[in-house]
Each structure stands twice: as C-alpha cells, then as structure tokens.
Amino acid sequence: MTPDQSGFLPFLLILLATTQLLVACTTLKDRHINQRQPSFAISRDTPTRLRQLAYTPPDDLPDASGFVLLDSGMDALSSRLWLADQAEKSLDVQYYIFHGDKTGAVVADSLLRAAQRGVRVRVLLDDIYVFENESNILALDSQPNLEIRVFNAFRHRGGNPLVRLSQFLVDGDRLNRRMHNKLFIADNQYGITGGRNIGDEYFQAHEEFGFIDLDVLTSGPVVDEMSKAFDDYWNSNAVVPVRAIPGYKRARQQLPALGEALSNARKSMEATPYWKALQARPLSAQFQSGEFYWLDGVAHAVVDPPEKIDGGLHISDLLLGQMIGLRVDPEEELMIVSPYFVPGKIGMDWLAYLRSRNVNIKVLTNSLAANDVPLVHAGYARYREPLLDMGVELFELKPLPNTSPKRKNLAGSGSSRSSLHAKTFVFDRKRAFIGSFNFDPRSALLNTELGLVIDSPIIAEIVALMSGQGMAPLNSHRLSLSNGKDGKNRIVWTSETDQGPVGTDGEPNATRWQRFLMDVLMLLPIEGNL
C-alpha cells in the first residue's frame, strides 16, 4: 500500500461512519417545508390599545419616531414582557439565541399567553441553537395562534455533535452563515431591536456572568420598516416551519405540561428579589401609566436581505451599503462600540480614509480577559498596532464586576463579571446606529444583521456618553504605542487603579494560558470566518 493510500483509508472510514450517522438520524420533511404559507404584518392603522399609546411626532418633525434607550438589562426584559402583555393582534419575534433559562421561560410564557388570548404570534429563530430546546419549541408551535420557523436549517436533526459537524463539512459554506438579527414587535406599533438575545446573561439575571448591552424601544414610522424586514425573512426560502422537524406530532402532546411548567417558572421568578427590582425600575412606572419619555428622531432600519446566506450579493444590497447610502460618513468624530472588532482590509481602508481627513476615531471593544470569544480577540489583536499607528484611539473593556455604584448604569447588577456586547456607532454626535452588527468580517459578509440609524443629536450624544463611560480609565484600558529598548514598537495598556494610572506591556488581567492560547490562535488563517 502506498503512503497516499494509507492516508486515504482512515479518511474513507470516517466518511463511511459519517454517512451511516446521517442515514440513521432524522431529517426535515419536505412536504411541510413546501406547505409554508406567507403572512405579513398587520396595518399600523389597525385599532389597538398600543396604537392609542403610540408615539405622536411633534409638528416640526412629522416623520419622526420616538425612542427609549434600554441600557439596563432589566428594562430590556420588562419592555419585552410589557409588549407581549399589551399586544392584541400580533407579536413578531426574531432572534439568534433564545435560551430556555429563567428569563427565556418567562418570555416564552408571555408569548404563549398572548397566543392563548388570540394574538397571532410569529417566532423566527436561527437554527444554530434550536436543538437545545427542540422538543419545547415543537410543543409551543402546536398552539394554533403561535407559529415558529427556523432560519437556515440543519437538514439532519438531533443533538449528536458528529452529525452537526458532518453537515458543516459537506455544507459549510451555507451553514456558516447565520441570522444574527434581533427584533420584538407588537401590533406593528412598538418595536425593540439592538444587541440582546433572549437569555439570563442579557437581562442581568445570570448569577455569574452578564453582558453590557444596548437595545432601543421605538414607536412610529420606523416600526413599519422593522416589520417589513421581519416579513422578508419570515416569507423567505431560507426559513423552515418547525412542523417539518421530525417528532412534531409527538411534541404536540407535551404542550399542556410545557404550559404549566412555563407558568410555574414565571411564578418562581415573580417571588425573587430580581423581579421586585424589575418592578421598581422607573420604566415600569411608565408602562403602568402609558406615558413615555420619548426621544425624537428620524430613523431608518438597515437590514441584510435573507438571501445573504446564498452569497453573491453586491455590497450596496447589504447593511453596510445601506448605511453608506444614508450618508453617515463622519466629518469630525466617529465612536465605535463593538465587542468583536476585526476590521479587515475594507474596515482598515475606511478608517484610514477617515483619519486622512482628520476624523477623530475612538473604538471600544473587549479586552482578552473580558472577551467571551478568544478566537475573535486573536483576529483583532493583529490590527492593534496598525490602528494605533494611524491614530485610532483604542480602549479595551476590563472584565467588570457589577457591584460598584459607579458602574451601575454601565453594567447594571446581578452578575459577578460583565463583558461588552453592545454594537453602536456615533457619527459626529448627530446620528447613531444601534443594532446587531459587529465590526468584523462575519457581520459584514456572512451573518445577516439588522439595526437602526437614528438622526438625532440628543440620542447620538447620549449614546456617545454611554460609550465614553465605557472608555473611562476605571472601566477600560487605553492602548498606546511605546518604543522599546530594541527599537521596536510595543503596545502599552494603561488604566486607573487605587494607586493611580498603571501601564503594562502584556494582555492585562489575562492568565498565562489565555496569553499562550492567543499566540497559537493568531497563527490560524481564519479571519474571514471571525
């Protein structure tokens, strides 16, 4: 046997074993996929209580929408629960992740209750994590007014990691493209979008970990644009109704037990200090009165088309191109907050162009110790020196505890460590982008994303102040270049401590293992997938 043949034999055995696994596992049922029926958002003229409570634009800004910035995870959860409770006609929900934890159960319970009182509930989930709660998802879909569809589905089902890996091996170009959008829309009158998925770590309810994030609650004309974006996904060929997943008939029998379990989960949550704190939030009083402290702004939804997963679209069709079409290029200042920041060649060219025009650029991202995806940090680390060299100001968020009163507005409370997850841009403190888009190749070219570009100096200034708080020495390391004894540039991290400003020339707060892992990961040629 030749060396080539000896190397081929193990590969053949793996291929045969994988084929047997795929044959043995269950697959989507085509007849249900083909029976997918289109549906669309209700008219904003439909009489509902939320229409009565909807934002009214001022006379001098007739095209404006109203906005409430949700920098608190508690406010972000209570907003969703309030919309679910108030909806009379429709709820449209779209997420990359929908956990089955404490807050996930409460949100699911609210959606089920809405469906039981006659509200049409449409839930669209990316399929990447559906297998974790597949039986419950199938059971919920059996409620007549509640329909769930999954985006970019895995054809072969089950939680076997080898089955999922084998599908990535044979269909990786498609399955590597995920739906990262976040939407929660009630009666086509109110909507929420931003960086948060559904889960304890997004709503300050996780005991050990939390995300610093930003959503926006809105009412007005821009909600129509958000609903259209949802409809485009809901009716696209990239989605599959969950009734096509094997086991659907059996799961229908589980709905009564699941409904009781969700109701009990809500009762348990309502007995916790967390729930009491939730009810004590100032925004909860606004929900009770129906009178909101709206911020005015003219906004547009920018969204990748669902066809992005097929590749081949021109950049003008993508979210990035839509933002360019809105002429958001700054003239004086650009502030970027992105937990995963890998600019790539296109991003570096754009930032270099702005710096050539003397635009001040500030970037806040996670430090290695705060980053929950080390692989992405390795991709970012390659760009730190050239970014600093061109004059970009870089700030890396520390792994913040949520106990300091000085950090309460930034990080909230309820977890022992926080990591940045908000995705925002501020252009000249006149316009702001809030959405799901990270400044990395994955968001730009692979995943689908959604956000709002809001033309409002007041909102832009508030988002800039939030960003500045994150960049403060107490919360972040500021990076700079220093000339070493060997004549080479080295990066220095400077931050505030009890003893005053302290600088270090190594990844701060990181373990030796984390630093070693970074050195290894930086050698991998995988930037296009980050």
- DSSP, residue by residue, 205-241: --SS-EEE--EEEEESHHHHHHHHHHHHHHTSTTEEE
Q: Could you tell me if 143 and 209 lie in one domain?
A: yes
Give me the pLDDT at residue 25, please.
59
Q: Is residue 7 over pLDDT 60?
A: no
Q: Does 12 map to a domain?
A: no
Kindly tell me if the per-residue pLDDT of 493 is higher than 80.
Answer: yes
Alpha helices in 36-180 (DSSP H): 49-53, 73-86, 102-116, 134-141, 161-175
Kindly tell me if the per-residue pLDDT of 48 is higher than 90.
Answer: yes
Which domain-ending residue is among 289, 323, 342?
289
- Dihedral of the CA atoms 211, 213, 217, 223 (nearest 10)? -110
Q: What percent of the chain has pLDDT over 90?
A: 76
Q: Can you tell me the distance from the alpha carbon of 337 to that of 356, in angstroms, rounded to the nearest whole number? A: 21
> Active-site positions?
180, 182, 187, 421, 423, 428
Given a cut of 70, whether residue 19 has pLDDT beyond it is no
Confidence label for 205 from pLDDT (cuts 50, 70 and 90): very high
Is 443's pLDDT higher than 60? Answer: yes
Query: pTM value?
Result: 0.92
- Compute the 3-state secondary structure of the chain and give helix, strand, coil in percent, each to the nearest 5: 45, 20, 35
* pLDDT value at residue 64: 98
Confidence of residue 3 (pLDDT cuts 50, 70, 90): very low
pLDDT at 18: 52
Report if residue 97 sits inside a domain.
yes
Please check whether residues 87 and 215 belong to one and the same domain. Answer: yes
Q: Which of residues 95 and 160 earns the better pLDDT score?
A: 95
pLDDT for 249 equals 84
Flag whether pLDDT at 407 surpasses 60: no
Q: Are 513 and 520 in contact (CB under 8 A)?
A: no
| Mean per-residue pLDDT of the chain | 90
Query: Do 226 and 155 share a structural domain?
Result: yes
Q: Which among 289, 323, 351 is the end of a domain?
A: 289
Say which range, 62-76, 161-175, 354-368, 439-453, has the weakest mean pLDDT: 161-175
Least confident window among 141-150, 177-186, 310-319, 507-516: 507-516
Residue 320 one-letter amino acid: L
As a whole-number percent, the residues of the chain with pLDDT over 70 amount to 92
Instruction: Give the angle 10-11-12 at the CA atoms, nearest 5°.
Output: 90
363 and 258 in one domain? no
Q: Say whether both 364 and 491 belong to one domain.
A: yes
User: Strand pairing partners for 313?
Assistant: none
Q: What is the pLDDT of residue 36?
A: 86
- Who wins on pLDDT, 232 or 207? 232
Q: Which of 211, 295, 251, 267 is nearest to 463 (CA)?
A: 295
My answer on whether 99 and 234 are in the same domain is: yes
pLDDT of residue 17: 52
Please tell me whether residues 233 and 336 are part of one structural domain: no
Q: How large is the average pLDDT for residues 95-114?
A: 98
User: Could you give the angle at which helices 255-270 and 134-141 cross, rounded to 10 degrees?
Assistant: 110
**Of 355 and 505, the one with more pLDDT:** 355
Identify the weakest region by mean pLDDT among 111-115, 135-139, 156-160, 458-462: 156-160
Q: Classify residue 433: in a domain, yes or no.
A: yes
Distance from the Cα of residue 55 to its chain's centroid: 26
Q: Is residue 480 part of a domain?
A: yes
pLDDT value of position 410? 36
Whether 300 maps to a domain, the answer reads no
* Model confidence pLDDT, tens digit, residues 259-312: 999 999 999 999 999 999 999 999 999 999 999 999 999 999 999 999 999 998
**How many domains is the chain built from?**
2
Instruction: Answer yes or no: do 386 and 430 share one domain.
Output: yes
In a domain, 42, yes or no: no
- Residue 513's domain comprises 314-529
Residues 341 and 212 in one domain: no
Examine the pLDDT at 15 and tell me if it is beyond 60: no
Selected residue with higher pLDDT from 119 and 34:
119
Q: At residue 140, does pLDDT exceed 70?
A: yes
**Is residue 81 included in any domain, yes or no?**
yes
Is the domain of 434 the same as that of 524? yes
Over residues 86-106, mean pLDDT:
98
Q: Is the pLDDT of residue 29 over 60?
A: yes
Question: Are residue 245 and residue 328 in the same domain, yes or no?
Answer: no
Q: What angle do CA 194, 387, 481 make, to 5 degrees?
A: 125
Which among 256, 289, 322 is the end of a domain?
A: 289
* 515 within a domain of the structure (yes/no): yes
Higher pLDDT, 483 or 379: 379
407 & 506 share domain: yes
Of residues 355 and 2, which shows the higher confidence score?
355
Any idea what the CATH number is for the domain that residue 166 is in? 3.30.870.10
Query: Does 431 score more than 80 pLDDT?
Result: yes
